[in-house]
Structure 1
Amino acid sequence: MTSNENFERAKQEYEKWGINVEQVLEKIKQVPISIHCWQGDDIEGFEPNKSELSGGIDVTGNHPGKAHTPEELRRDLEKALSLIPGKHRVNLHAIYAETSGEAVERDELLPRHFENWVRWAKDRGLGLDFNPTLFSHPKAADGFTLSHPDIEIREFWINHCIACRRIGEYFGKELGTPCLTNIWIPDGYKDIPSDRLTPRKRLKESLDRIFKENISEKHNLDSVESKLFGLGSESFVVGSHEFYLGYALKNNKLCLLDTGHFHPTEAVSNKISAMLLYSDKLALHVSRPVRWDSDHVITLDDELREIALEIVRNEALDNVMIGLDFFDASINRVAAWTIGTRNMIKALLYAMLVPNEHLKQLQEEGRFTERLALFEEFKTYPFGAIWDYYCEEMGVPVKEAWLKEVKQYEREVLFKRQAPSQTV
């Protein structure tokens, strides 16, 4: 049986439930995923004087072939994008500036340091998102940035974030799609603090300064990202979920939920509908925590499907900005992007092929036996045939055929790389 025949038979199965598969495929084409650039180089960036990775962040593994230059990183991203159906976005950190070897401090970064990224994105019809980099820097060595008790250090990071918002605005203007500029900080204490309020007051004051300049949401959207704990901040994180949720609601900013930044028993999927009642938009960084915020490549697991179902069943595809955030150096980095992004899209497609309105009605009528039965039966509906057809129609490899291309790229490109001197 051909893939088209498989598709037609699968389509009939879904159409019995009133699901228009052709409309679903048109809808999934319009959903952009923001793919994080830092999977490709283990979050090293291109600063001439790199600092050791810090801020409770660690990348494990030493698979050969990581990118060492902007050109290599963009080439790797292009390869991954060629294996992923749909038109997507790329998410940058400030440390991916290109300064031609000049040492430019982070508080002095300008849009021109990202001109190559914008030109590249424009040529490929991609949007760009952005993040200030408040880690891996001498002024963050003690684990504090925007809430630092030293006003000079605090000013440095405030000015860095102000510069990054302007860079985000530049991305939005040049590419015709608003940039999401997201702030995450590592600030916190390893042991139990004697004062939680004062650092949070300083963080609030810093954020007020950062957001004082009015930038049109047509070009730039601001978000703030919380965390429960991290390495070196096991007992207290200044920017907690409650802190940022309150700040975002009061100041009309997006609250960004990273799926690895909560207690292991918390489900981010459960937070989405609650937050959308009070926020027009929210943002996600989707990763896979294994016991803690370890940023594993996302798999098509129960929580990923539930996140997608919450977005789709609540008609929130235009209200939730979906980005990825994982980094694994133990496997091929192009493969990591491909696996993770394809899984995010698979989860959304799966959610669109569930009779969500019927299931809602069953719940309203108290028909819980039927609801559970259908939940389980749809897990083995011929979703794979629809996914294969979608990939084929979008001109990307079907099933595991993409892995052959990655292995060839690994032999011809990645295995031949050597770390060059830093002259970006």
Structure 2
Amino acid sequence: MSNKEQYIHEAYELAKKQYAALGVDVEAAIKKMEEVVVSLHCWQTDDVGGFETPDAELSGGGIQATGNYPGKATNIAEMRADLEKAISLIPGNLRLNLHAIYGDFQGELVDRDQIEPKHFQSWIDWCKEHNLGMDFNASNFSHPKADGGFTLSSKDPEIRAFWVEHLKRCREISAEIGRQLGSPCVHNSWIPDGSKDIPVDRNSHRALLKQSLDEALSIKYDADHMLDAVESKLFGIGAESMTVGSHDFYLGYAIKNNTLICLDNGHFHPTEEVGDKISACLQFVDQLLLHMTRPVRWDSDHVVTLNDDIKLIASEIIRNNFLGRVKLGLDFFDASINRIGAYVVGTRAVQKAFMIAMLEPTEQLVRLEEEGKGFERLAMLEELKSKPFGAVWDYYCLKMGVPAGEDYIQDVQEYEREVLAARSHELV
């Protein structure tokens, strides 16, 4: 055992005693971290480019990555290598979250209304090899048939039919993924549909969206294989004045059709807290999907950090024993820094938030609340902020066989020198 490992063990034993004084079983909390499963979004590796065509460039539809840091993945082999490196530095249980534009098309141009499970078989095999579950997303953006601003809600029946067929095929692919991997694949649908300026006819677009969704979701799949989710948004580039798939629309649709509602904490007004919405939505839907990101003034998809928004999300889930009803996913794409480093920082931040929530003496706090002891509750919450959570986290990382503390920074730097530099002269 190295000196650092010895210090981590010693600090952990002291932390256990401090938390035990509050009635918190630290070892039980670490054990419960096995239930926190985070779905890694593949699009952080290549800035949402995908592999439909060589050197794929986005053609519109509201997706925008900021920055051009050298060394991004340019093919499936590079993407998988980057994912494997990130996974080696992240503790806990993980899944892969894949968009339809990341199919293994073998150089063949396959339009989105023609994709099949065979185009994703190599991804399924890769997940089997790495003992990962897999989630999937229809890619209703960055395509010539999305440039008009409307997809599933388009008033052009040919465009609408194209995207309905795409969604149908994505659901079929998702069901096959879940069947082969023995774990339900969450299929999420988000569309960029909306209006830059103030529209007159909002209703027709929303009626068409409902019609399209009803058609696309008409085939029912085994819930052990596939789960549907629908994702709202407040606004987007080119859809500042009206978003067809608003929160109100999709929450109503999810409740009526018993699908998951996807809550992305970048898709709401800055003063809204997604953590506050979790218990509200779960009164009416069986499960929900979270896309965790860090908006800075708007849906800018910065790397997740251990901020109050993420901590509230984790606290609400743990306090109410919702882990079995909430699917956890990430959704950021920062191209301004090392992309593998972004993965590691963001995912570990989410996991830290859940560990902090598990180290909370919730029963004691609820009792104070119910007794009307507001000062005592506030004081306890404040004192918890300075408890030695970091000592428990470092021990957990050692236990999971990944670098503790800041040690992963050096690993990412070495990968950049040894692997990413070969992709870009800027890093040589």
TM-score, structure 2 normalization = 0.97
Matched residue, 1:271: 277
| 1:196 CA drift (Å) | 1.0
Counterpart of 1:194 (choices 192, 200, 203) is 200
Counterpart of 2:16 (choices 11, 19, 32) is 11
| 1:162 CA drift (Å) | 0.3
Count how many residue pairs are aligned between Structure 1 and Structure 2.
419
Q: Matches of 1:265 and 1:87 in 2, distance apart?
A: 32
Counterpart of 1:34 (choices 39, 44, 64) is 39
Matched residue, 1:64: 70
Matched residue, 2:223: 217
Q: Matches of 1:86 and 1:43 in 2, distance apart?
A: 25
Matched residue, 1:422: none
TM-score, structure 1 normalization = 0.97
Matched residue, 1:226: 232
Q: Matches of 1:176 and 1:53 in 2, distance apart?
A: 36
Residues 113 and 418 of structure 1, relative CA distance in 2, 3 Å threshold: farther
Q: Matches of 1:30 and 1:289 in 2, distance apart?
A: 26
Counterpart of 1:322 (choices 321, 328, 336) is 328
Which residues of 2 match residues 23-422 of structure 1 at below 5 A?
A: 23-48=28-53, 50-417=56-423
Q: Matches of 1:79 and 1:48 in 2, distance apart?
A: 25
- Given that 1:84 and 1:396 are in contact with CA atoms closer than 8 Å, whether structure 2 keeps it comes out as yes
Percent identity, aligned pairs only, is 55
> Can you give the 5+ residue segments of structure 1 that lack an aligned partner in the other structure?
420-424
- Given that 1:178 and 1:218 are in contact with CA atoms closer than 8 Å, whether structure 2 keeps it comes out as yes
SS at match of 1:107: coil
Give per-residue Cα distances to partners, 1:20-71, cap 9 Å, x unaligned. Answer: 1111111102311001000000000001263524222211111111000101
> Can you give the 5+ residue segments of structure 2 that lack an aligned partner in the other structure?
1-5
Matched residue, 2:3: none
| 1:351 CA drift (Å) | 0.3
Which residue identity lines up with residue 8 of structure 1 in the other structure?
E
Q: Matches of 1:235 and 1:56 in 2, distance apart?
A: 14
What RMSD, in angstroms, separates the aligned Cα atoms of the two structures? Answer: 1.0
- Given that 1:51 and 1:137 are in contact with CA atoms closer than 8 Å, whether structure 2 keeps it comes out as no
Which residue identity lines up with residue 27 of structure 1 in the other structure?
K
| 1:278 CA drift (Å) | 1.5
- Given that 1:82 and 1:396 are in contact with CA atoms closer than 8 Å, whether structure 2 keeps it comes out as yes
- Given that 1:328 and 1:336 are in contact with CA atoms closer than 8 Å, whether structure 2 keeps it comes out as yes
Q: Matches of 1:106 and 1:383 in 2, distance apart?
A: 46
Q: Matches of 1:218 and 1:183 in 2, distance apart?
A: 19
- Given that 2:70 and 2:424 are in contact with CA atoms closer than 8 Å, whether structure 1 keeps it comes out as no
